[in-house]
Amino acid sequence: MTREKSLSVFAVSLLPWFMVFCLFSCRDGSAKEKNEKNYDRIIILGPNLVQIVSSLGFSEKIVGIDSWSDKSLARKDAARVGGILDPNLELITLLEPDLVLVAGDPTRLNDFLSEYSVKTIGFSVEDTQDILNAISEISSLLSAEGEGLKLSEKIRQELRAISPSGFIPRPKVLLAITSDVSSPENFMSASSETFLGEIIGIAGGENAVGVNAVLYPEISKEAVLLLDPDIIIEFRPTNTPEKYDSLSLVSRWEKVYPGIKAVRRGCVHICFDEKILIPGPGFPESAQFLHLFIQRAVDAED
**pLDDT tens digits for the chain (302 residues)?**
444 444 444 443 444 434 333 333 333 444 444 445 689 999 999 999 999 999 999 999 999 999 999 999 999 999 999 988 889 999 999 999 999 999 988 888 888 888 888 999 999 898 899 999 999 999 999 999 999 999 999 999 999 888 655 566 789 999 999 988 888 999 999 999 888 999 999 999 999 999 888 889 999 999 999 999 999 999 987 767 777 888 999 999 999 999 999 999 999 999 988 888 899 999 999 999 899 888 888 877 66
CATH no., domain 172-301: 3.40.50.1980
Architecture of the domain spanning 3-161: 3-Layer(aba) Sandwich (3.40)
Asked if 31 and 134 touch (Cβ cutoff 8 Å), the reply is no
**Using the 8-state DSSP alphabet, how is residue 137 labeled?**
H
Cα–Cα–Cα angle for 208, 211, 214, nearest 5°? Answer: 105
Count of all residues that appear for the chain in the document: 302
Residue 164 phi, psi dihedral angles, 5° rounding: -65, -30
Domain ranges in the chain? 3-161, 172-301
Asked if 220 and 241 touch (Cβ cutoff 8 Å), the reply is no
Asked if 104 and 25 touch (Cβ cutoff 8 Å), the reply is no
The Cβ of residue 157 has, within 10 Å, a number of other Cβ atoms equal to: 10
Equal fold, 3-161 vs 172-301: yes
Please give the pLDDT value at position 127.
87
> Residue 280 carries which side chain, given as an amino acid letter?
G
- Verify cis geometry, omega within 30 degrees of 0, for the bond prior to 284: no
Cα-Cα-Cα-Cα torsion 150, 45, 196, 162, nearest 10 degrees, comes to: 20
Q: How far is CA 291 from the centre of its chain?
A: 17
